[in-house]
Chains A and B, each alone.
Chain A
Amino acid sequence: DTGVSQDPRHKITKRGQNVTFRCDPISEHNRLYWYRQTLGQGPEFLTYFQNEAQLEKSRLLSDRFSAERPKGSFSTLEIQRTEQGDSAMYLCASSLGTLEAFFGQGTRLTVV
C-alpha cells in the first residue's frame, strides 16, 4: 500500500496522559499536513511541514501539542496532558508541492 499511513487508528487515553501519533506520507511527497476533525465538522488545519521544516502552525495548536518530521520522512504529533476537548479524529495528509493532498485514514482519539 503506497498511500498515507497513520498509526494507531484508534487511541483511548485517560485525561492528563500524553499520546503520540505517527504518520507515514507517500514516499515522494515533500509536504505533510496535520488536521483535526471533530464530530460534525470539516477538518481544521493544525500544522504543516515542507521536508523537515515546520512552516506553519495554527492557533489551534496549543503549547501542549508538538509535531516533528525528522529527516523529512514520517511525522509524529504529540499531545501532552490530554484534555477531553482533545477528543477528535487526527488526520495526516501529504502532497507533492502544491498538488492535491492525499489523506490517511486518521487516528481517532478518545480522552476519558
Chain B
Amino acid sequence: AQKITQTQPGMFVQEKEAVTLDCTYDTSDPSYGLFWYKQPSSGEMIFLIYQGSYDQQNATEGRYSLNFQKARKSANLVISASQLGDSAMYFCAMRGDLGGSTLTFGKGTMLLVSP
C-alpha cells in the first residue's frame, strides 16, 4: 500500500518570499513517481511538477522545485518568489509503477500568500 503524509494543514507566506510544503511518503514499490498538484478554489487540479524515484537530479519547473530526499522518503515542494495567485490547496501524490497508474494523494496543504 502507498501512503502520502502532508503534515501542514495550512501555511502562510508573504509575497515574493519562498515557501516549502512538506510531503513524506511510504511505498513498497521499488520504482515510483511523485507529483505535486495545485487546486485553486475553482476546483481544478493543476499539475505542477513530477519526480521519478530514479531521477538523479531534483525536478524543477519555473518557480517550483522538488526537494527529493529518497532515504528520508520526502518530496517537499519549494515555491520561490511567491505570488498572490499561488494561494491554493497543494496536494502531494504518488504513483507506484507496479501498482498501475493510479495516484494516491495526501490530505493537502492550504497556502495563503499575503501582500
A residues neighboring B (CB under 8 Å): 31, 33, 35, 40-45, 48, 55-56, 89, 91, 93, 95, 97-98, 100-106, 108
User: Which B residues are closer than 8 A to A by beta carbons?
Assistant: 4, 33, 35, 37, 42-47, 50, 91, 93, 95, 97, 100-108
A residues within 8 A CB of B105? 42-44
CB distance from A15 to the nearest CB of B (A): 23
Q: Which residue of B lies closest to A41 (CB)?
A: B107
Given contacts A48-B102, A56-B102, A100-B35, contact A43 B107 (CB under 8 A): no
Query: Nearest 10 CB-CB pairs, A to B?
Result: A42-B105, A103-B45, A105-B44, A45-B102, A106-B43, A100-B47, A42-B91, A43-B105, A98-B101, A105-B43
- The number of residue pairs between A and B whose CB atoms lie closer than 8 Å in the complex comes to 56
Q: Are A45 and B44 in contact (CB under 8 A)?
A: no
Note all chain A residues with C-beta closer than 8 A to B91. Answer: 42-43
Contact B42 A45 (CB under 8 A): no
Q: Is the CB of B44 within 8 A of A48?
A: no
**B38 CB → nearest A CB, Å:** 11
Q: Which residues of B contact A91 (CB under 8 A)?
A: 43, 45
B1: shortest Cβ distance to chain A, in Å? 12
Given contacts A42-B91, A44-B105, contact A55 B44 (CB under 8 A): no
CA distance A48 to B104 in the complex (A): 13
Contact B43 A42 (CB under 8 A): no
Question: With a CB–CB cut-off of 8 A, which chain B residues contact A100?
Answer: 35, 47, 50
Separation of A45 and B103 alpha carbons in the complex (Å): 7
In the complex, A42→B55 CA distance in Å?
A: 26
Does the CB pair A103–B37 fall under 8 Å? Answer: yes
Across-interface contacts of A102 in B (CB, < 8 A): 47
